[in-house]
């Protein structure tokens, strides 16, 4: 078992440190945020992540997991030091490396023994050299030997613990193959494929992976618009595509688009790197544009159904960018709610875990935050599904319709069946579900031949390009 230090206690650092401790290592997590460290020392999580609290408490009690703001104490006897700090997007689209630089400088100032430095944060290609140069230039103890290894993370919020414990692969890149092999030993108990490569390739694997997943999401949303115009059902189209093993079913769910701290940030950073290299990353730019416009599509649907939104009350179900997290970073709900309020609507919002983080990200202007989904729907002219929490799938259509002023549903995650919602008396619009189902009578109408259906159907709600929401970043 190893002595390990983890710098940074965000999602990546906290999950990495806690899971490594649960494997029997002694792990000290370092952060400059004194309030966060005090909270962690009490066994309190600053984030919501299923399964993490139990691991945290168990390993604190076993004295395998420690938290400190003191670099000398945190680095003492550490054989492997993970850098897991934030790398947010700057105004020009590049990754902000200030926290990585600060961590590397602090390591150099206090490292008094040989160690391996592991870049766990998502960092631009070439960051291994950057960290190595900073530490070499600032070593307080010049005789210390160190090596830098890139070990990109592939943790999805909401399933981060499981992703760490059962990874699809472990990627390690370094100019020092012995150092990479020593880091690989940490992961051997997980029995996952381990890939050893050079620094630049390891760093690029992370960006390419996230860019490809983001591309799948934007692609299926583009197809959803075509389906809606032509009368096809994107849910069935995606299912038919997903049976092909070359395509796969994952990330083929049409909706409001991706959010969070990874996809948008990483695609933007990769596009910036490509542009700096003299390339024209047009597909990456298209992925971002399609994703951004998908949020405007939701607003456009609501306006098409209700007309002037001034004086309307709208229920919004879901604030976090995805289920099983309270993270509001780049959450679609932020842009959607701000646009609805700007049009004069009063929003009643509900999320099972992101009520407080949602309020902090969105604010109180024109928005009230409700205790449950039915409260958010009460007296609403329309209910908008933004996050696909399982709780929303289990709502009673009859009870939901009874509390609403007008039975209008805009399902931004396609969690309901159009015919079932129409039968329950709703005017229902999903994303790419063909001709929208509007009432029980329409749902009961026998199916017509395909060509007749296409020729006779009503114009799509998305007959015109949607208004583009102003970009917030």
- Active-site residues, by number, are 262
Count of beta carbons in the 10 Å neighbourhood of residue 42: 9
The tokens describing 289, both together, are 């544009």
| Cα 253–Cα 259–Cα 265 angle in degrees, nearest 5 | 125
**In terms of Cα–Cα distance, which of 185, 152, 154 is closest to 167?**
154
CA angle 58, 8, 319 (to 5 degrees): 85
112-143: string of b/e by CB count within 10 Å (b at 16+)? eeebbbbbbbbbbbebbebbbebbeeebeeee
Q: Are 334 and 362 in contact (CB under 8 A)?
A: yes
Closest CA to 377 of 348, 352, 356: 348
Q: Are 51 and 19 in contact (CB under 8 A)?
A: no
Whose CA is closest to 291, among 319, 254, 339, 239?
254
* Crossing angle of helices 263-276 and 199-230, rounded to 10°: 110
Q: Are 87 and 95 in contact (CB under 8 A)?
A: yes
């Amino acid at each position: 078992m190893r002595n390990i230090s983890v710098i940074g206690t965000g999602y990546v650092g906290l999950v990495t440190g806690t899971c490594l401790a649960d494997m029997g290592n002694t792990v000290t997590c370092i952060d400059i945020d004194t309030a966060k460290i005090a909270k962690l020392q009490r066994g309190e999580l600053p984030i919501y992540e299923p399964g993490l609290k139990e691991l945290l408490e168990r390993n604190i009690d076993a004295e395998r997991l420690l938290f400190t703001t003191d670099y000398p104490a945190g680095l003492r006897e550490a054989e492997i030091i993970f850098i897991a700090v934030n790398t947010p997007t700057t105004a020009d689209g590049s990754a902000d490396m200030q926290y990585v630089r600060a961590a590397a400088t602090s390591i150099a100032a206090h490292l008094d023994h040989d160690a391996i430095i592991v870049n766990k944060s998502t960092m631009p290609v070439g960051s291994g050299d950057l960290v190595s140069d900073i530490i070499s230039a600032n070593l307080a103890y010049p005789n210390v030997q160190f090596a830098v290894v890139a070990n990109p993370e592939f943790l999805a919020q909401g399933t981060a613990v499981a992703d760490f414990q059962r990874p699809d692969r472990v990627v390690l890149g370094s100019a020092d193959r012995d150092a990479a092999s020593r880091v690989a030993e940490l992961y051997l108990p997980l029995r996952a494929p381990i890939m050893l490569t050079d620094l630049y390739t390891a760093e690029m694997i992370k960006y390419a992976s996230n860019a490809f997943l983001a591309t799948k999401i934007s692609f299926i949303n583009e197809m959803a618009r075509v389906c809606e115009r032509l009368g096809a059902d994107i849910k069935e189209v995606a299912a038919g595509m997903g049976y092909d093993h070359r395509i796969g079913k994952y990330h083929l769910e049409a909706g409001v688009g991706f959010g969070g701290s990874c996809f948008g940030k990483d695609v933007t950073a990769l596009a910036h790197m490509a542009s700096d290299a003299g390339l024209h990353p047009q597909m990456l730019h298209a992925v971002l544009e399609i994703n951004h416009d998908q949020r405007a599509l939701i607003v456009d649907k609501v306006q098409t159904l209700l007309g002037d939104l001034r004086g309307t009350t709208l229920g919004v179900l879901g604030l976090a960018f995805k289920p099983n997290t309270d993270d509001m970073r780049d959450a679609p709900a932020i842009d959607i709610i701000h646009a609805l309020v700007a049009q004069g609507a009063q929003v009643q919002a509900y999320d099972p875990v992101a009520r407080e983080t949602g309020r902090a990200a969105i604010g109180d202007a024109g928005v009230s935050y409700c205790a449950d989904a039915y409260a958010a729907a009460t007296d609403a002219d329309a209910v908008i599904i933004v996050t696909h929490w399982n709780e929303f799938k289990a709502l009673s259509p009859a009870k939901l319709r009874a509390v609403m002023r007008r039975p209008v549903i805009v399902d931004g995650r396609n969690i309901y069946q159009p015919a079932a919602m129409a039968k329950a008396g709703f005017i229902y619009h999903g994303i790419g579900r063909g001709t929208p189902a509007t009432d029980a009578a329409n749902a009961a109408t026998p199916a017509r031949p395909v060509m007749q259906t296409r020729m006779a159907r009503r114009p799509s709600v998305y007959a015109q390009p949607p208004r583009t929401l102003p970009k917030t970043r």
